[in-house]
A = this chain, B = another copy of it.
Amino acid sequence: MNNKIKVGIVGANGYAGAEVLRLIAEHPLAELKVVTSRAQLGKKVASVFPALPCDLEFSDAQDPALKTCDVVFTALPQTAGAALVGELIDAGVRVIDLSADYRFDDVSVYERTYNVTHPRPDLNKLAVYGLCEVNRKKIKSAKLVANPGCYVTSVLLPMLALSSAVKVTNIIADSKSGVSGAGRKADEAYSFCTLDENFKAYGLFTHRHAPEMSEKLGQKLLFTPHLLPIKRGILSTIYFDVNDSSAAIDALQRAYADEPFVSYTDALPEIGFVAHTNRCMFGARFDGNRGIVISVIDNLLKGAAGQAVQNMNIMFDLPETSGLPLYAPI
């Protein structure tokens, strides 16, 4: 019991933060010590979220108890967590940051993309990009992990495998996400009557996840997100050309053969195969050198909180699947 990893969550009122809370509360080897939320300060978690029967109270981000944690998940808007992340790291607390602040190798791309000045370029150098299956070794010893974007994860897992084996060009990622990807909001644009029985594209040529994908893939790509009338899940339909389609299939099949959470499937995957799990599944079809990959994740799990907890498991030498759902419910 007293060997459990001590965990803090900053910004536990948002969907990603609340999902980390849920996972840690049921994690067999971790223990929730502090959860903070400015909006819910002083309230019991269970009174704010009747679905989360947790005895803790929300404190604020200055709570000194955060510095007694082994790891803190920060789930704040861009740049808002910068000072805190620095303090925590100075205090020897390892941090898994769910914002975009530390995701970019090139700080200037981050600044252009998010239209901000990077709060801590010095910390950015420490940060490890937390795409678990790809950066596992660096994550193990990282002080600061930058948890990848949700759309990005769905695209990078298959496309990095592909790119490492064959020449891939003309990439277009047409992605569709459930509504929880937009976060908790009081906004008519996200109301039930606006979104139910509806579907739309947004952010054409301008979505912030495109530069993140491009930097990690080492090439520009075209990315178009869409909003699905479901709560959870992303499906990315990825179009591209390759110089060798059988090497491409081979690469997709082998790349993650030993991974518990990432798998190639001959059948094309559907969002329902992975919703409520930490898995990424992808399949592919080729017509000559033209290829299509279909990749699915749960945007709040493998696309956010699940990958964050997987990063924690890696950082603290826990079994990597601890506390992470693998089987999808009906």
Contacts and interface: CB of A to CB of B under 8 A. Distances in A.
A195 B192 contact: yes
A26 B327 contact: yes
Contacts of A152: none
A199 B281 contact: no
A1 interface: no
Interface residues of A, number: 77
A201 B276 CA distance: 20
Interface in A247-275: 263, 265, 267-275
- 3 smallest CB-CB distances across A and B, nearest first, come from A51-B328, A200-B270, A198-B272
Nearest to A198: B272
A50 B265 contact: yes
Q: How many copies does the complex hold?
A: 4
Given A19-B329, A25-B327, A270 B184 contact: no
A172 interface: yes
Contacts of A178: 197
A235 interface: yes
Contact of A229 (B192, B200, B239): B192
B237 A224 contact: yes
A271 B28 contact: no
B271 A200 contact: yes
